[in-house]
Amino acid sequence: MQITEIYKSLQGESTYAGLPCVFVRLTGCNLRCTWCDSEYTFHGGRKMSLPEVLDEVSRLSPGGGLVEITGGEPMLQEREVVPLMQTLVETGHTVLLETSGERLLQRVPAAVIKIVDVKCPDSGEGDTFRDENLEALTTRDEVKFVLSSRRDYEFAREFANRHGLAGKVNAILFSPAFRKNASGARDSSQCLLDPQELAEWMIADNVPARLGLQLHKFIWDPAVKGV
Ligand code: SF4
């Protein structure tokens, strides 16, 4: 499979946020979100076999632990990534899969926790989530909306409501988008949507979602990759 990087850091954007985690970042994405901070994954990378990826994961995290499969869009390499996830589960890892839900998720092993990043209108990639994937969601999974405007917030609130997500998944996450190419200050001035404003909307509407902040962007310089 084509891999951009494998590294260890803290998980930053789910109910697993704050836990040490090995990230396996696959190369390639079929979307072009306006605020994407991972454009370096679109091309390049290096070919690695399944055993090579497994060796690197166990070198970084001997004895199991949390592993996130991310990208880019990892499900573009479904043929290789499904066996990788299955093997990681069998070798005692807790496996998270970060995906946009634009590809079908039916073949993702049941033990894998899917974190589905449903694209909102102002990402420029709205309407890319495939509704068939709602059937693949379980109470272990999480659905995330990265928000850059009031329009995005209303889309996310209505989507969660219309599809009864609160009863379907472990968590609904509303997360303010970070400015593309943000660097320097590690604070919410770098967010496209003020977290305080978002928090106030969520409280007023009593939405069954939790506010998520991209933890790593408050720990390291937002421009730093591989953290
Ligand atoms: S899906 Fe992810 S990697 Fe692809 S363009 Fe959007 S934010 Fe970037």
120 lines ligand 1 (CB under 6 A): no
Which atom of ligand 1 is least distant from the CA of 39?
A: 8
Give residue 63 CA to ligand 1 midpoint distance, Å.
Answer: 31
Tally of CA atoms within 13 A in the half-sphere of 20 that contains its CB: 8
73 lines ligand 1 (CB under 6 A): yes
Tally of CA atoms within 13 A in the half-sphere of 217 that contains its CB: 22
Give residue 73 CA to ligand 1 midpoint distance, Å.
Answer: 7
Residue of minimum CA distance from atom 1 in ligand 1: 31
100 lines ligand 1 (CB under 6 A): yes
pLDDT digits (tens, 9 = 90+) for 83-131: 999 999 999 999 999 999 999 999 999 999 999 999 999 999 999 999 9
Task: Report how far residue 46's alpha carbon sits from residue 27's, in angstroms, rounded to the nearest whole number.
Answer: 8
Q: Which residues of 130-147 are buried (b: 16+ CB within 10 A; e: fewer)?
A: eeebbebbeeebbbbbbb
pLDDT digits (tens, 9 = 90+) for 5-51: 999 999 998 999 999 999 999 999 999 999 999 999 999 999 999 99
Residue of minimum CA distance from atom 7 in ligand 1: 36
152 lines ligand 1 (CB under 6 A): no
pLDDT digits (tens, 9 = 90+) for 62-92: 989 999 999 999 999 999 999 999 999 999 9
For ligand 1, pick from 23, 25, 36, 147 the residue to mutate: most ligand atoms within 8 Å of CB.
36
The predicted model scores a pTM of 0.95
Average pLDDT, the chain: 95
Please give the backbone phi and psi of residue 166, each rounded to the nearest 5 degrees, phi first.
Answer: -60, -30
